[in-house]
């Protein structure tokens, strides 16, 4: 099945001293979504940003904000990030028990609901929740820090998830986050992903030509 590939630059790899300018730049460079990692220092060993920052950044672009909650618990963060301007909120299958209620709450706010799984989490864990989701996010690195190497074994998981979605006649995006670059992007798309989250390969240290980096990533698929 042919799908349009979306690129969602992860601002975790951007210059935090000028996030507004960075978001405006990737918007103009051709980003489809803006991926925002929210980390609490508990579920993952890092801290990033909160709803106030997201609300302020909303003024710099009209592109969809793809908010990935790496928090535990996450239920108390759904409303604040929805009000801050999130268009998609993704929660982790490993983080809490009342997943269905939380996914329904996200959708009730008029935004897309996603569910994510870490590299060590089997596909079977997300199957009961697929009909409540608009997106499945497959982590291809261990979450918490940017710049990690892509875990090749996760290609099998991507294929399996895409197969389950199609066999269930569901319309769900498959997003992949972690170590994505122009070398492995084609393999990820061929496995069944249609949204690529990329950080270090777009916000490269030696080049601020984000348009070139995004175009190369799209063309590699």
Q: Which residues are catalytic?
A: 37, 177
> 41: alpha, beta or left, given left = phi > 0 and alpha = psi -120 to 50?
left
Phi/psi for 150 (5° steps) reads -60, 130
Nearest-angstrom CA–CA distance, 204 and 212: 11
Which of these, 96, 109, 88, 22, lies nearest to 61 by C-alpha position? 22
Question: 8 has which bridge partners?
Answer: 197
Question: Are 142 and 119 contacting, i.e. CB atoms less than 8 angstroms apart?
Answer: yes
36: number of Cβ within 10 Å: 27
Terminal alpha carbon distance of the chain: 14
Q: Which helix (H) or strand (E) holds 77?
A: helix 75-84
Nearest-angstrom CA–CA distance, 208 and 192: 30
Q: Please state the length of the chain.
A: 221
Provide the 8-state DSSP code for 47: B
């Amino acid at each position: 099945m042919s799908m349009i590939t979306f690129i969602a630059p992860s601002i975790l790899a951007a210059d935090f001293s000028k996030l507004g300018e960075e978001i405006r730049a990737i918007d103009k460079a051709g980003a489809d979504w803006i991926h925002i990692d929210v980390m609490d220092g508990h579920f993952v060993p890092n801290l990033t940003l909160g709803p106030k920052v997201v609300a302020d950044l909303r003024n710099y672009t009209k592109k969809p904000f793809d908010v990935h909650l790496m928090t535990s618990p996450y239920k108390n963060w759904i409303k604040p990030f929805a009000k801050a301007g999130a268009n998609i909120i993704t929660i982790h299958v490993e983080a809490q028990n009342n997943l269905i209620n939380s996914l329904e709450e996200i959708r009730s706010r008029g935004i897309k609901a996603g569910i994510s799984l870490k590299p060590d989490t089997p596909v079977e864990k997300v199957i009961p929740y697929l009909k409540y989701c608009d997106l499945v996010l497959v982590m291809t690195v261990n979450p918490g820090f940017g710049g990690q190497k892509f875990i090749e074994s996760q290609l099998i998981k991507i294929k399996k998830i895409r197969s389950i979605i199609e066999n269930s006649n569901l319309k769900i995006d498959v997003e992949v986050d972690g170590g994505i670059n122009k070398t492995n992007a084609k393999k990820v798309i061929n496995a069944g992903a249609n949204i690529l989250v990329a950080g270090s390969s777009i916000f490269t240290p030696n080049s601020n030509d984000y348009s070139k980096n995004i175009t190369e990533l799209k063309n590699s698929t």
